[in-house]
């Protein structure tokens, strides 16, 4: 049985107070979902500390949305993996398409980030996914394969066992367009096969989350698919009812 995970990527939304209220709201509604589902919330850096505090003893885990590709030093505006760990951050999202697209993240920077995350005891949620023109050109299988090979294949077995993958087709993020459950299953199964090429049977245990306009109304259909182990949720993670509504789909 693979882990079932619903993770919220708050992106650049909410104030610290709103973030605390949101995690408290999620904690209150959590009794309505299967205890088999793990919840993770990923607020902006400024509220990690207070959200971590508010999430204590709720069973909700907290992650960051990024970390620096250097250990420490003269990197104005960056936040190191070690700093995140020092305030008990558990997860870190790496390789989100918005980071790749707007902040020029490459396989090289992502390899450094991944290594530093693991070295500091953070568990990465590594994102892959194709852009619209790549899907239309039938390149989506190759795109995600490459994004996995160039970063995930550099992990050792112990690191790999802690990894979560998120498949997020760029054309579905924040657009209201969702991949069909069949499209999601097809590419999640492909991702698992690619992972198995390198890590063998261990790939059977890797949680692969779907992201891209996932909401309470479509989550059940997506999560019913064999290789869809949960979601990485953007817009719908900003309301406790919607986030829990998605988790209820399990």
Whether residue 168 lies in the annotated active site? yes
Tokens of 205: 């245990």
Q: How far is the CB of 226 from ligand PGA (least distance, A)?
A: 22
DSSP H helical ranges for the chain = 16-29, 45-55, 81-86, 97-102, 107-119, 132-136, 140-149, 157-160, 181-199, 216-223, 240-247
Binding site for ligand PGA (CB under 6 A): 9, 168, 173-174, 211-214, 232-236
Closest CB to ligand PGA among residues 66, 213: 213
- How far is residue 161's CA from residue 152's CA, in Å, rounded to a whole number? 11
Residue 200 gets which letter from DSSP?
A: G
Q: How far is the CB of 34 from ligand PGA (least distance, A)?
A: 21
* Residue among 43, 50, 47, 49 nearest 8 (CA): 43
Q: How far is the CB of 7 from ligand PGA (least distance, A)?
A: 8
Closest CB to ligand PGA among residues 187, 199: 187
Q: Which of 47, 96, 188, 190 is catalytic?
A: 96
Beta bridge partners of 124: 92
Closest CB to ligand PGA among residues 4, 96: 96
Query: Per-residue b/e over 166-198, b at no fewer than 16 CB within 10 Å?
Result: bbbbbbbbeeeebbebebbbebbebbbebbeeb
Closest CB to ligand PGA among residues 19, 234: 234
Q: Answer left, alpha or beta for residue 11, where phi above 0 means left and psi between -120 and 50 means alpha.
A: left
Q: How far is the CB of 236 from ligand PGA (least distance, A)?
A: 6
Q: Which of 98, 130, 168, 190 is catalytic?
A: 168
> Which residues form the catalytic set?
96, 168
């Amino acid at each position: 049985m693979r882990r079932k995970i619903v993770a919220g990527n708050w992106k650049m939304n909410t104030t610290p107070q709103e973030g605390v209220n949101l995690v408290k709201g999620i904690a209150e509604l959590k009794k309505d979902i299967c205890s088999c589902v793990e919840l993770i919330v990923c607020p902006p850096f400024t509220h990690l500390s207070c959200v971590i505090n508010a999430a204590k003893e709720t069973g909700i885990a907290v992650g960051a949305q990024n970390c620096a590709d250097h250990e420490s030093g003269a990197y104005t505006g960056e936040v190191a993996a070690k700093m995140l760990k020092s305030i008990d951050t558990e997860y870190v999202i790496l390789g989100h398409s918005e980071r790749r697209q707007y902040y020029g993240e490459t396989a090289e920077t992502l390899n450094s980030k991944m290594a530093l995350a693991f070295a500091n005891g953070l568990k990465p949620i590594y994102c892959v996914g194709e852009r619209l023109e790549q899907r239309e050109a039938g390149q989506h299988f190759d795109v995600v394969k490459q994004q996995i090979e160039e970063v995930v294949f550099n992990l050792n077995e112990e690191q790999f066992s802690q990894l979560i993958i998120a498949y997020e087709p760029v054309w579905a993020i924040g657009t209201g367009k969702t991949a069909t459950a069949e499209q999601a299953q097809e590419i999640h199964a492909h991702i698992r096969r690619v992972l198995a090429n390198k890590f063998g049977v261990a790939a059977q245990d890797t949680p692969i989350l779907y992201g891209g306009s996932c909401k309470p109304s479509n989550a059940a259909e997506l999560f019913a698919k064999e290789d869809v182990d949960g979601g990485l949720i953007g817009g719908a993670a900003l309301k406790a009812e919607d986030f829990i509504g998605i988790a209820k789909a399990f």
